Amino acid sequence: MQTVLSGVQPSGSLHLGNLVGAIENYVKLQNEFKTYYMIADWHSLTSRFDSTDSIIPAIYEVAATFLAVGLDPEKSALFAQSQIKEHAELHLLLSMITPLSWVERVPTYKEKLQNSEADLGSYGFLGYPILQAADILIYKAHKVPVGEDQMFHLELTREIGRRFNFLYKKEVFPDPQAVLTQAHRVPGLDGRKMSKTYDNGIYLRDTPDQILHKCTRQMASDTARARRTDPGSPGACTAFTFHKLFSAGETVDEIAQECPKAGIGCFDCKKRLAEKLIERLEPLRTHIEDHLKNTSNLEAILKNGADSARAVAVSTMAEVRETMKTPQFF
Ligand code: TRP
């Protein structure tokens, strides 16, 4: 059976885009593959080393969300990166064989360094993609479900794995392939990509009132449609994009017909959308809240997940040390 691994940073407040772009797909894969889902808390530290209070609550939130969406702890290993020290050891060893120029040329690196408000001038942040390579290679993952923004990290992971195999003349690491999960990208309330940074999201823990408010009061629509009696253009409307993603086919057809004739107003159209989203998200929200009330259960699940992941990580590290001729006299 092939192995799948992915990682999510514990940065709090997962949104609808994370749900349909990633988490739902991750959970589906547990029926076909050996799946490892890692909460990348050390990766969060690369940019948030100065505000660590939120990290543990955010780990709980990611875990609660995966479980609420249907992750089965019997099928998938769910754990936090810092539970498995072997990731740190492999990160260290891989950093010895990774040319500085490879990490310096990561396109997101220089861009983030210049544009982010966080202080990213650390050694750790430069090593971010090497740590990610260690996460993937330590499970010899074949498939890595990620968004498009991670493609370069995956490419670098393959290069580092191949360089290891070449230098030490043994095929220890298979080539991991990205599995693109953002089949349908969810726009934010303002029409840009849904993102925490833009503060334009519908969050999985939003209450029905908040969802109704966001849909009817904050969501962008066709700006050329000033009055209720003006004909609208669904093609230029964020609310219509949402209907296409979340409403039934008949509703979409009806709005596509009525909106350009001014047969339906923006408020009613968005209210119908809010009802649909609430129907979909409210059961999930209550599940998430229930899980968050029971953090000792979450910890037990993470501990079990880490135990099964660690068994693999430990065995890969033994092979890595042997291949690299790093002593293991302990
Ligand atoms: N860098 C990834 C992100 O920000 C998170 C991540 C860390 C990851 N380790 C990983 C993703 C390993 C896939 C595999 O989304």
195 falls within a domain:
no
The residue-averaged pLDDT of 55-66 equals 98
Q: Is 46 in the pocket of ligand 1 (CB under 6 A)?
A: no
Index of the ligand 1 atom closest to the CA of residue 129 = 1
pLDDT beyond 70 at 38: yes
**Position 278 pLDDT exceeds 80:** yes
CATH of the domain at 104: 3.40.50.620
Instruction: Give me the domain span that covers residue 13.
Output: 3-186+295-324
Give me the pLDDT at residue 108, please: 84
Binning the chain into helix, strand and coil, the percentages to the nearest 5 are 60, 10, 30
Give this prediction's pTM: 0.94
Cα 297 to chain centroid distance, Å, stands at 23
The pLDDT of residue 182 is above 70: no
Coil vs helix vs strand at 55 = helix
Residue nearest to atom 8 of ligand 1 (CA): 7
Q: Are residues 261 and 303 in the same domain?
A: no
User: Which residue's CA is minimally distant from atom 12 of ligand 1?
Assistant: 7
pLDDT of residue 110: 86
Ligand 1 within 6 A of 77 CB?
no
Check whether residue 301 and residue 277 sit in a common domain: no
CATH of the domain at 216: 1.10.240.10
Same domain, 231 and 160: no
Query: Each residue of 114-128: pLDDT tens digit?
Result: 888 888 999 999 999
The answer to whether 219 and 242 are in contact (CB under 8 A) is yes
Q: Are residues 158 and 258 in the same domain?
A: no
